Amino acid sequence: MTSISVVLGDITKLEVDAIVNAANVSLRGGGGVDGAIHRAAGLGLLEEIIEKYPDGIIVGAALPTFGHKLKAMYVIHTVGPRYYLDGVEHEKLLSDAYRNSIRVANELGCKSIAFPAISTGVYGYPIDEATEIAVRTIREEIAAGTELQEIVFCCFDDANFEAYKNELGL
Ligand code: ADP
């Protein structure tokens, strides 16, 4: 049985097996949640990324690193679409980011994972649309089979928090 929950707060503080990073294609860190994760994890995170993934990542894919100074054992780095630039593909690309993150977590043997609201910051995805895609994709992955027991949506602002509670019927 896999539970889905929503919390309001800072994803870097969560005690879960893996936190997901809404990164950019360079994987070298950035603003928003990406910057917060790099700051909290320490320089070892960037060093691991440069060694393992020198070419970065493509939109919608997901790649793991260790969590370094974070409480989480792993960080799963993914990249959501930029709503105004990635065109009609954005719905599929956002769904891919969630789906591929869950699949990486399965491969790592994680029991718990936390997601930020991917693409709803600088990348400009409308919150309600993004939330619907996130919840639908996670439910599809649970139905497809996962060892994950706990999936947490970690919101950093009230608008996202309300949207997730609404979408999850909480
Ligand atoms: P993107 O480029 O994918 O839009 P952002 O980091 O700009 O990524 O924003 C994604 C979401 O992460 C936004 O809803 C933002 O409020 C949220 N966010 C920012 N910092 C944190 C944090 N420390 N913990 C959880 N969520 C955060």
Ligand 1 contact, 64 CB (< 6 A): no
Domain residue ranges in the chain: 3-168
Cα of 111 vs centre of ligand 1, distance in Å, is 23
Instruction: For residue 34, indicate whether it is catalytic.
Output: yes
Ligand 1 contact, 25 CB (< 6 A): no
Question: Is residue 86's pLDDT more than 80?
Answer: no
Question: Is residue 88's pLDDT more than 80?
Answer: no
Cα of 32 vs centre of ligand 1, distance in Å, is 5
pLDDT in tens, 17-53: 999 999 999 999 999 999 999 999 999 999 999 999 9
Instruction: Over range 48-74, report the average pLDDT.
Output: 98
Cα of 77 vs centre of ligand 1, distance in Å, is 13
Architecture of domain 3-168: 3-Layer(aba) Sandwich (3.40)
pLDDT in tens, 114-150: 999 999 999 999 999 999 999 999 999 999 999 999 9
d(CA 97, CA 118): 8
For residue 84, what pLDDT band results from cuts at 50, 70 and 90?
confident
- Greatest CA separation found in the chain? 43
Candidates 20, 33, 125: which one to mutate for ligand 1, based on the most atoms within 8 Å of Cβ?
A: 33
pTM > 0.95: yes or no:
yes
For residue 60, with 0-12 CB atoms within 10 Å meaning exposed, 13-18 middle and 19 or more buried, which class applies?
Answer: buried
CB atoms near residue 35 (< 10 Å): 11
Question: Is residue 10's pLDDT more than 90?
Answer: yes
What integer pLDDT is reported at residue 87 of this predicted model? 72
